[in-house]
Every structure is written in C-alpha cells, then in structure tokens.
Structure 1
Amino acid sequence: MNYRHSLLALAIASGLSATPAAHALELGEFNDTQFSIGGYFKAEAIYEKVDDGDSRIFGRSNQSRVNLKTVTQKEGHTIVGFVEGDFYGGTFPGENNDLRLRHAFIKVDQTTVGQTWTGQFWAVAYHDYLDFLGGPRGTLGGFNFRTNLISHEVAGFRFTAQDPVNNDADTPDLAINYNLNLDGGHRVILTASGREVENGDFVGGGAIGSKFMIGPHSLNVNAHYGEGLGAFTGVGVNNSLASPDVENDDAVSQAGFDVGFRYVINSEWRANVAYTAVEVDDDADTNYEAHRVNLIHNITQDLEAGIEWRKYNLAFGPLLPEGQQVEVMAKYKF
C-alpha cells in the first residue's frame, strides 16, 4: 500500500498549528467567524561568490507572502482555518515567481489536518537569520518544507503522522515532540523521528532543541542523531530529496549540531552569529558546515532592514551554492 494518498482520510476535521504570523490585519467578523490577513513583503539584494563558478549580484522578492486566517467558536470548539502562499513556485524553489501554496490546514482545538510544517520542523529552536532557504539547513527543519499530515497536541506533546518522503513507503513518517517552557523564557524541545527509507527499513533518530535566555540575549543550541534524518536536514547522500538516507542499500546515519547567539543591542538593533555542522556516515562526502553573521535594524515596529554574510561548504540547487553570500534586505510585515 502507498500511504501518501490516504493520509488525509485518517481525519477530516483537525490540525498542527503552523503558528500563524503575530502580525495580522483584522478584517472583522461574519457568521460568528473572525477573519484576518497577514504576511509580509520582502526585497533582497544578494552578492554571491561561488567557489567553483562566477560571482554575481541579483535581487529577488519571492519570499513575500500573504495569508488568510479564520477563527470560529462553535459548540464549545475553536476552529481555525489557515491558508498561505508565497512566490517560490516551480519544481525547485526559485525557478520562477509563480504563486506556491505554503500552508492550508484546519485546526480544531488541539488537532490539525492539512498541509503545514512537518513534525520534525518543530524540533528546532530557530535562529534569527535572513537566509530563508538555507538558514535552518543542517537541522531537522533544514528543508523548510511542509506536507499533508494529522497532528495532535496534549500536555506539552505533539504527535504527528504525515505523508512519507519515500513515495513507496507503507507507513507514514512519524514525529513526537515534547516542548518544555521554563521560567525566564528558557525552552527545551525533545523530538523522536521515524520513517521508512528507500530500502524498506523503518529507521529512527532523535533531536534536542534548546533556547537559553541571557538577559535580553539568547543562545540557541540544536543537536540531532540517527537514521532517516537527511530528508529533513537537507544534508545526506547525493544531497537531494531523491534518496538522502540510503547508500549501497543501507540506511545512512548522521549527527549534527547547530548553535546561534542573538545579541540585542537596543530596541532597534540586534545581531546574530550562528554555526552549523553535520557529519554523515556515508561514502559520498556530504559532511556539511555553515557560518552566518547578521545585523538587523527595526526602522519601525513592522519595517526592518538587515545585512547577512553566510558561507556554505556544500551546494544544494542554484539558490544555495557552495561558497559565500552577502544579503541586504528590507521586510515590511502587515
């Protein structure tokens, strides 16, 4: 049996919260339903110095997005609907400026069904980075992708079953997260992940994400280990979605860590530095390192500008070359 086309039949009124943007424009209420729109416009200029290629400078605005959210209180239940799109259409993100569906889900109380973040995505304490595509690469949110799933939250746990990355899998990809919020803004996230890889084995791995507050500043530390994780980290055999976790018909393991520090200069300025490293137990030499430093200025509460330098030691498609990039951006949230 191919599980991919039957997952949504598990439940038709449920959801995993995709944490709709805090910034939103309230449109009002109609038939006991609150409507709001949100999103942002982002413009980027990027200088790229590729290790084995020509340097170039270019601009893009694909990351701009818009969403619609509805909230209904009915018969003791809270029903949330959320749909969002950006302009990274095409087989590979950035091939054109076509509209692309990011999220489309229903959430009833603590249960979600539809297209939204994978359960593995919630394993990470994310940094304040400007690089939308490559920023979380090397963590379990590395592919920054969404899928059809069903998810339920209870007592700090999130249980997720989702369409498998492996099209021939007989079981869903699975994730269990436990989120522990501590006094002072500290946070710990524990995650177990399991999936059927391309050789037919069902394999697993684990991750920990953590955020430590140091006054107004924060230190984020993430780590993962196991098999079947390359599909989520974006690092693995052949460095692709096709078969990132199998080599010579054997499941491939990997271990990685990611650390970032956010320094709040004042209410208008903040700076971030981050480092990621992943070691893959394969013959294809797909070990990964990334460095980034940025400075971000809040011009107003909703308008910010920033600059970021980053370096990757592996390429992944035309938008994430091996080499260095410098990005200058402006983003307006609404």
Structure 2
Amino acid sequence: MNYRNSSLTFMIASSLGAVPATYAVDLGTYNDTSFSVAGFLKAEGIFEDPENGDSRIFGRANQSRFNLKTVTQKQGHTVIGFIEGDFYGGVYPGENSDWRLRHAFIKIDNTTVGQTWTGQFWAVAFTDYLDFLGGPRGTLAGLNFRTTLASYEFQGLRVTAQDPVYADADIPDLAINYNLNLEGGHRIILTASGREVDNGDFVAGAAVGTKVMLGRHSLNLNAHYGEGLGAFTGVGVNGSLSDDVENGDAVSQAGLNAGFRYVFNDQWRANVAYTKVEVDDQAETDYEGQRVNLIHNIIPELEVGVEWRKYNLAFGPLAPEGQQVEVMAKYAF
C-alpha cells in the first residue's frame, strides 16, 4: 500500500476538493512514525444581498485550518493518524471564532475508525467552489458534516457504518460506495445510502457521480434519489436543513448537480455550477443554487478568487436566501 498517495487523498478530501493540490510540511520520522503538518489560511470578504433583510459587507477567516498527520509502517501494517480543526465552533455572526474539531481518525490498512466524512460524502464528484458552507448543498455532501464511523475499503469499494442522524435509531446509518477510475482521468462513483428516520422506518436512497475529462477541463455531474437523504443534502421537508419525515411518513427527494471547470493555464481556472433538488413534500420544496467563480494561483501555494452565488433557500445565517459575492485569498502549507 502506498501510504503517501493514501494520505494525500485524505488531505485533499479534508479541503473538500476545493484546491487543485495539497501541501504538507514533513516534520521527520521517529520510531518508525513520520509526522507532518498541513492546512491553510483563508481570508474572505463577502457582500451579501439577501431576499429578506438588509445588504451587508463583512469579512471572516474562520475556514482557516490546521492538521497533523502521522504514518507508522510496522509488522506489515500501515497506520495513519489524522486530526484537523478549524475556527467554525461559533458560526453565527458576532460569536467567537472557537476552535472546532473537524477530523480525528485512525486508518489501519484499509479500515478507518473515528470522526471523518460520512460515507455519503464520498458519493460526490466535486467542482471547485469558494463557498465552504453552501457550496455542495443539494448533493450528498451538502451538509458538509463529519461523524463517528467505521469504514472498510477494498478495490474501489467502501462500506461505512456511522453514528445515526436519528438519535434513537437502533442501527447505524449505512453507505456503500464504488469508485471506478478510468483511463484519461474519467471517474464514476456509485453510492447506496440507508438509515433509520424519525418515524422508525429504515429507508434507502442512491446516487451517482461522474467526472468527465475534456482535455484539461472537466465536467462533473451528480444525481441522487431516495428517502432519508435530506440529512446529507441539506434540503429537507419545507426547506429545512435535514428533516426527512412529514406527517409520520418518510419523504423522498431527487437532485441534480452539474459543474464545469475550465482551465485557462496553470495559473487561472474558472468554474460554473448549478444544483436543483425537488422534495416530495406537501410544500413541494424546490431548491436551486448557482455559482460562478474565477481562481488565480499567484504561486502554487497561494490563490486568490472571486465567486458569485445565489440560493433560493436559506442555509443557516451565513448563507441566506439571495445573492453573495465573495473575494478571498488562501495560502496552503
């Protein structure tokens, strides 16, 4: 097993697929264990024009994060430890930027235990975006949350059992992913999801994600359908973030996400994306999200960018219904 490639995958995932490369500072090796640190500093300026309420301009640096990774190879096993945090412990405007635990897991060969991305998160082929909070909403990575879990990977197959969203569930939430990497950088991801919802029913859904390379450009498509998926997409009954039950019955939803990444050269790239989710509830909840961005790498470790986005449903206090324009600078190490 090539632990360097494996650990790189973890670190790219921890950045939510939003950067083209990941960097780490090697601290050295002690008693068969190598140590490295990585992360990034990100400063954002945001103009917000909500459908309800006054426009405002504000800045934040909460997304800045830091991680520590260890790799031990001994007696035929590879053990990876990973811990990462950011400053979104207090996410509401005016609150302190408290340190928050994002990831804390151990990977022993092909088995992962601890707190990290849900199995549903791995269903998505991501397009670059600057919006850390609302960017993936409407896909199975929509709520951008991590949970305690155990997962096993084997030849592209990942099986995950995780802490259930429904607190009184009798069984863990489940996910099965199959990742097929094709020649030329093309990729297909098939996912099955199952969980117990608030009425006690065990419900299921499915998703497919694909990345199609068009020279150095790429087209990313994601689709999902089923019950119990609002807990992951962030689009639920009556526009809620996660409710999947209405009048005692599980509610289904269908969603589509499409993104195109255009690479001008090694320094410049642009992305456009559209997301739509329809929930089969009495209110016929319909979510739409759009974004366009332009990103420039001044040097490989330092990028600046601007993004316009619009949501027709609020996604918490920092991503209201309406439009936002973000200007950012991010330095990765």
TM score, norm. by length of structure 1: 0.93
CA distance, structure 2, for counterparts of residue 34 and residue 183 of structure 1? 32
Q: Which residue number in structure 2 is paired with residue 250 of structure 1?
A: 249
Query: Offset at 1:91?
Result: 7.3
CA distance, structure 2, for counterparts of residue 160 and residue 239 of structure 1? 28
CA distance, structure 2, for counterparts of residue 211 and residue 25 of structure 1? 30
Query: What is the root-mean-square deviation in Å for CA atoms of aligned residues?
Result: 1.7
Matched, 1:277 2:276: yes
Q: Which residue number in structure 1 is paired with residue 108 of structure 2?
A: 108
Query: Offset at 1:93?
Result: 9.6
Q: Which residue number in structure 2 is paired with residue 19 of structure 1?
A: 10
CA distance, structure 2, for counterparts of residue 179 and residue 309 of structure 1? 31
Matched, 1:332 2:331: yes
Q: For each residue in 1:87-141, what CA deviation from the matched residue of structure 2 results, as whole angstroms up to 9, or x when unmatched? A: 0003769943000000000000000000000000000001100000000000000
- When structure 1 is superposed on structure 2, of 279-288 and 110-119 the one drifting more is 279-288
CA distance, structure 2, for counterparts of residue 94 and residue 62 of structure 1? 12
Would you say the 8 A contact 1:178–1:191 is kept in 2? Answer: yes
Q: 1:172 to 1:210 in 2, by over 3 A?
A: same
* Aligned counterparts, 1:47-66, within 5 A: 47-66=47-66
Q: Which residue number in structure 2 is paired with residue 9 of structure 1?
A: none
CA distance, structure 1, for counterparts of residue 331 and residue 124 of structure 2? 25
Q: Which residue number in structure 2 is paired with residue 262 of structure 1?
A: 261
Query: How many corresponding residue pairs?
Result: 319
What is the letter of the counterpart of residue 45 of structure 1? G
* Aligned counterparts, 1:1-334, within 5 A: 19-21=10-12, 22-90=22-90, 95-240=95-240, 244-334=243-333
CA distance, structure 1, for counterparts of residue 57 and residue 41 of structure 2? 20
Q: Which residue number in structure 1 is paired with residue 15 of structure 2?
A: none
CA distance, structure 1, for counterparts of residue 93 and residue 56 of structure 2? 19
Would you say the 8 A contact 1:94–1:319 is kept in 2? Answer: no
Would you say the 8 A contact 1:205–1:224 is kept in 2? Answer: yes
Q: 1:39 to 1:79 in 2, by over 3 A?
A: same
Query: Offset at 1:287?
Result: 1.2
Would you say the 8 A contact 1:231–1:245 is kept in 2? Answer: yes
Q: For each residue in 1:21-49, what CA deviation from the matched residue of structure 2 results, as whole angstroms up to 9, or x when unmatched? A: 43100000111100000000000000000
Q: Which residue number in structure 1 is paired with residue 19 of structure 2?
A: none
Local SS of the residue matching 1:122: helix
CA distance, structure 2, for counterparts of residue 293 and residue 161 of structure 1? 35
Moved over 4 A (4+): 15-18, 91-95
Local SS of the residue matching 1:20: helix
Q: 1:94 to 1:257 in 2, by over 3 A?
A: farther
CA distance, structure 2, for counterparts of residue 176 and residue 240 of structure 1? 26
Q: Which residue number in structure 1 is paired with residue 16 of structure 2?
A: none
Q: For each residue in 1:50-69, what CA deviation from the matched residue of structure 2 results, as whole angstroms up to 9, or x when unmatched? A: 01110000000000000000
Q: 1:276 to 1:42 in 2, by over 3 A?
A: same
Query: Offset at 1:19?
Result: 1.0
Q: 1:181 to 1:95 in 2, by over 3 A?
A: farther
Local SS of the residue matching 1:79: strand
CA distance, structure 1, for counterparts of residue 151 and residue 108 of structure 2? 11
Identity %: 74
What is the letter of the counterpart of residue 256 of structure 2? F
Query: Offset at 1:233?
Result: 0.1
CA distance, structure 1, for counterparts of residue 97 and residue 331 of structure 2? 19
Instruction: List runs of 5+ in structure 2 lacking aligned partners.
Output: 1-5, 13-21
